[in-house]
Chains A and B, each alone.
Chain A
């Protein structure tokens, strides 16, 4: 009996402690724990915003030299990186005269590796090209016609027979001992990625690009924190086209490295007051608890306090 009473008492105490403790944490004005804000995967954005998301920073660190998009990656061995990227083509085994290989295969994505090996082949093959008219037809009908005409000199025929790969299709004989001959001895190549997967980091480090933009994540966290300190001045009942923009530099611990720099000088007394109130908020709410992973992005950015409804 006694034990039972103790149990309920204990349960009651535990519950009270839990509830009060929860209240202490969750009702306090300062945020103890700042949950990481996840970027919402599905979001309605304008094309302009999209291009922003996909753009990077000029001075962004080149962390990802391998293009991420290429699906080939799983199938191909490591030495693929050395391999030449070329357009997907039918296998080069052919019975027609080899044409000068198209140089088209220059990669669209700037592969660091120079296109070396494949071009070598076309260079070797120009020889048969000279004799093109003769070696053309190894098939019986053509030979028959030629025999009738009696014109064809025997030499060219022999020459035509010379390239072994051209003969093979004719007989279709499979010689097991010569399997090795079937192997493609060119350097490994891989097909260029046709993937339509977005690669946010594709342009990293290029002159045109910008760094990946994770500001949706840390920006929302910054906003949440600075809002707690912002005592927005009351600007009347009319929606005012007020906006205050700052440049701020943060240290790794989330505190300000220097005074926030306001953009532009306020034109009206209310604008000035609005700007000052935002400035006060930025200063008062530091240090900011922002994800360290994105420090490179939030160490220097521009908070925009605005009344404009877009």
Chain B
């Protein structure tokens, strides 16, 4: 009998517990309902503003590493600053100069100088001649660590480490891939205006580590990277007709891509790196052809009594854009990568040339000529949304950064001066000169190296 009573009590207690939990659930519901009554205050369309970021010098793991620590810090600071999306705070303003990367920073010291992000790091030489780089990215206001990595590399590549860290910071704080760990191939120009020596040159995206790839005895034009960044295809005026060449950057090995009668020019790799597309001159016309690099077979893509040139693939490789004067004046056309059915997309005043498809796929950049001016512009692949980024006496040859956010081009002020390289954001902001040893033209931006 008592047992039964106990049982009953237990069941009752259970019931009550259920009831309580049920009531709690109701309470939760009521709580969430009251959330609807919260006032909403809309903060609309704030202006874009560069993010204030503090980058104190990377600590030295051993006494001999101070120099490389400072160097890495400077490269990162310069990269972020040049992107236009960050406002690195002058080190002179820092309340703390030496930061221990192993401990959480004292955020109040950084809040007081209005930093919103903080980078701490350390460079340490290893026994084997390699160097270890560590960094952490902090959100000053929330005290959260946003990113942290360590790398191990041979000491001579410390600049690349700095670029890779820059990319990490950029990606974490903007939500987009970076473009700092990249190279640019361009035509280096030296000598007087009538006896220009043109050499192929390679450099880091920030202008450091310039290397010359040709000697300058022959005229070179339109170098382009392969997707692997190991090869460059370009046009060279040799002894006979201009030819398209393939050059391996590491080995220096060079070969002619297709030896055809007549001139071949304006080559570019397909996104998979298996093919090279180019123009072939036949009489007064030139048409587009694509060569498979393995089988060396050549396929004709256009057959018009006009000049078709400057082909560039969409990033997915299904379509390509090119320049043609089949309508009378040079304009931009888009067609399937297999040829046929080209559609004109440029309809503004003047002529359009040197189209290049953004690696992101959203825009085609071009050179527009009209009214005595050369402008760099972008438009969507369907021809809509055309906008001019910069305009002047002579601007030409746009090339996209791998994230599609920045365009590099060359500008020639005319007169006795020579061309130099510039970058500009696709929004038209932040035009910057890219440092080069001499005059420079025809830049091509590599994909990300890492």
The chain A residues found within 8 Å of chain B, CB to CB, are 57-59, 210, 213, 215, 219, 222-223, 226-227, 230-238, 245, 247, 259, 268-274, 276-280, 283-284, 297-298, 300-309
Q: Which residues of A contact B45 (CB under 8 A)?
A: 306-307, 309
Q: Taking A269-B175, A270-B176, A273-B173 as contacts, is the C-beta distance between A232 and B41 under 8 angstroms?
A: no
Kindly state the separation between the CA atoms of A307 and B348 in the bound complex, as whole angstroms: 30
**A235, A259, A280: which contacts B116 (Cβ < 8 A)?**
A280
Closest to A277 in B: B51
- B176 touching A269 by the CB < 8 A rule? yes
Instruction: Report A29 CB to chain B, min CB distance, Å.
Output: 8
A106 to B306, CA, bound (A): 90
Residue B47 at the A interface, CB < 8 A?
Answer: yes
Contact count A vs B, C-beta below 8 Å: 115
- Give Cα distance in the complex from A232 to B45, angstroms: 9
Having A219-B41, A280-B116, one finds 13 other A-B pairs with CB under 8 Å, namely A213-B39, A226-B43, A231-B50, A233-B175, A237-B427, A259-B142, A270-B176, A271-B175, A276-B146, A278-B43, A306-B44, A308-B44, A309-B45
What B residues does A307 contact at CB under 8 A?
44-45
Name the B residues within 8 Å of A302 (CB-CB).
Answer: 38-41
**Taking the nearest CB of chain A, how far is it from the CB of B7, in angstroms?**
43
Q: Which residue of the partner chain A has the closest CB to B44?
A: A306
A273-B175 contact, Cβ under 8 Å, with A304-B42, A306-B44:
yes
Q: Is the CB of A272 within 8 A of B40?
A: no
Indicate whether B46 reaches chain A with its CB closer than 8 angstroms.
Answer: yes
Docked Cα-Cα span, A219 to B34, in Å, equals 19
Residues of A within 8 A of B35 (CB): 247
Measured CB to CB, the closest approach of chain B to A227, in angstroms, equals 6
Which residues in B have their C-beta under 8 angstroms from that of A222? Answer: 41
Contact code string B168-210 (vs A, CB < 8 Å = 1, else 0): 0001111110000000000000000000000000000000000
CB distance from A195 to the nearest CB of B (A): 28
Complex Cα–Cα for A300 and B40 (A): 10
Is there an interface contact between B46 and A232, defined as CB atoms closer than 8 Å? yes
B139 CB-CB contact with A under 8 Å: yes
Task: Report whether A283 and B141 are in contact in the complex, using a CB–CB cutoff of 8 Å.
Answer: yes
For the complex, what is the distance from the CA of A122 to the CA of B369, rounded to whole Å?
A: 96
B48 touches A234 (CB 8 A): yes
CB pair B43–A230 under 8 Å, yes or no, is yes
Q: Count contacts on B: residues with CB < 8 A to the other chain.
A: 38
B85 CB–A CB distance under 8 Å: yes
Question: Hey, which chain A residues are within 8 Å of B42, CB to CB?
Answer: 219, 223, 303-304, 306
A278 to B51, CA, bound (A): 12
Are A215 and B50 neighbours in the complex by a CB distance under 8 Å? no
Closest CB in chain B relative to A34 CB, distance in Å? 15
Contact B426 A215 (CB under 8 A): no
A245 to B34, CA, bound (A): 16
Counting chain A CB atoms within 10 Å of each CB, the highest count among B42, B47, B405 belongs to B42
Quick one: which of B37, B43, B85, B141 contacts A234, CB cutoff 8 A? B85
In the bound complex, do residue B49 and residue A231 qualify as a contact, i.e. CB atoms below 8 Å apart?
Answer: yes
B111 within 8 A of A: yes
Nearest A residue to B35 by beta-carbon distance?
A247
Q: Which residue of A lies closest to B41 (CB)?
A: A219
How far does the alpha carbon of A227 sit from the alpha carbon of B176 in the complex, in Å? Answer: 23
Query: Which residues in B have their C-beta under 8 angstroms from that of A277?
Result: 51
* Contact partners of B111 in chain A: CB under 8 A: 284
CA distance A227 to B116 in the complex (A): 14
Min Cβ gap B223→A in Å is 28
- List 12 contacting pairs A-B, 8 Å CB cutoff, sorted by A: A58-B37, A59-B34, A223-B42, A233-B174, A235-B175, A247-B35, A283-B141, A283-B142, A303-B40, A303-B42, A304-B43, A309-B45
User: Which residues of chain A are near B85, meaning CB under 8 Å?
Assistant: 233-234
Knowing A232-B48, A232-B49, the reply to whether A223 touches B173 (Cβ < 8 A) is no
Q: Which residues of A contact B139 (CB under 8 A)?
A: 276, 280
> Would you call A284 and B116 a contact (CB within 8 A)?
yes
Distance, CA A238 to CA B35, complexed state (A): 33
Query: Within the complex, what minimum Cβ distance (angstroms) separates B418 from chain A?
Result: 31
A58 to B33, CA, bound (A): 11
Fill in one digit per residue for B351-392: 1 if any A CB lies within 8 Å of its CB, else 0.
Answer: 000000000001000000000000000000000000100000
| B52 interface contact, C-beta 8 A | yes
| Structural contact, B37 and A57, CB atoms closer than 8 A | yes
Q: Please, which residues of chain A bring their CB within 8 A of the CB of B405?
A: 236
Given contacts A301-B38, A305-B46, contact A280 B175 (CB under 8 A): no
Neighbouring B residues of A298 by C-beta, 8 Å: 39
Q: Which residue of chain A has its CB nearest to the CB of B430?
A: A234
B175–A303 touching, CB < 8 Å: no
> In the complex, which residues of chain B have a beta carbon less than 8 angstroms from the beta carbon of A223?
41-43
| B40–A301 CB distance below 8 A | yes
**Distance (Å) between the CB of B284 and the closest chain A CB?**
40
Within the complex, which residue of B40, B52, B141, B175 is in contact with A304, where a contact is CB–CB below 8 Å? B40
Min C-beta distance of A73 to chain B, whole Å: 30
The CB with the most chain A CB atoms within 10 A, among B85, B171, B175, is that of B175
Q: Give the residue name and chain of the B residue nearest to A278 (CB).
A: B43
